[in-house]
Amino acid sequence: MESPTDEVLTESENRYPGLRQQFADLKAMAEIACVHCDSPDTAVLVVGITGRTMSLADLSTRVKLVANREEPGERWCRTCTRAF
Ligand SMILES: [Zn+2]
């Protein structure tokens, strides 16, 4: 998976304190295969579209933003496009 550069992370952290840690936590959470199709290409669902969450989503495809929690589950499969 792609990783943001340290420079990008530092810039994000300056704008949103704690974001670097939050990103690390989300990244660790996303490293789980999809229960539907076993794909490793998954993301964590983050509810709420704000400057902070958009900044997180910019850092990685491992973060998927949703405006409201309509789907059950905390993770998103990018292969079969379902929550789990
Ligand atoms: Zn899947």
pLDDT by residue (tens digit) across 33-73? 999 999 999 999 999 999 999 999 999 889 999 998 777 78
The CA 34 to ligand 1 mean position distance, Å, reads: 5
**Helix residue ranges per DSSP H, 1-84:** 6-15, 19-30, 51-59
Q: Which residues contact 17 (CB under 8 A, 6 or more apart)?
A: none
CA distances, 25 to each of 21, 28, 36, 70, 78 (Å): 6, 5, 23, 23, 19
- The whole-model pTM stands at 0.80
Domain positions in the chain are 6-83
The CA 44 to ligand 1 mean position distance, Å, reads: 13
The CA 48 to ligand 1 mean position distance, Å, reads: 23
* Paired strand residues for 76: 43, 83
Amino acid at 26: L
Can you give the pLDDT at residue 69? 79
What's the mean pLDDT when you consider all of the chain?
Answer: 90
